[in-house]
Amino acid sequence: MKIAKIIMAGTAALTIISSAAVAQQALTGTVTKVDRINRTIAIQQMQSGTIGANTGGAAEEFKAQNGLSLDALHAGDKVTFSATETGGIKTITKLQKQ
């Protein structure tokens, strides 16, 4: 019983670590909305994989990390970004206009 708890705890820890690693992966998308007052950005992620599948999903709203400038961003801009999610809040940690 004690060994099973240790194994389950280890598995849970690895799952969390791998989720964080995936969250730091560079993503690409199109800016659909910039709210400079609340420091939020809505980005529609580009579909990856199948050729011809250019319809991405719905735009997701992200909070901009302190230090990221939103002044040069406008709706329609193509961007590469990295984001994390903590407590249900998605935060952009890196953002580069293409």
β-bridge partners, 80: 28, 96
- Model confidence at 2, pLDDT cuts 50, 70, 90, reads confident
First to last CA, the chain: 53
The CATH number that domain 26-97 falls under is 2.40.50.320
Share of residues in the chain with pLDDT > 70 (%) = 68
**Sole residue written with tokens 């670590």:** 17
At 22-61, the pLDDT tens digits run 456 789 999 999 999 999 999 999 876 665 555 567 889 9
pTM: 0.67
β-bridge partners, 85: 90
**Domain spans, the chain:** 26-97
pLDDT exceeds 60 at position 20: no
Question: Quick one: pLDDT at residue 18?
Answer: 46
- Calculate the alpha carbon distances from 65 to 5, 12, 48, 57, 60 in Å: 36, 27, 25, 23, 16
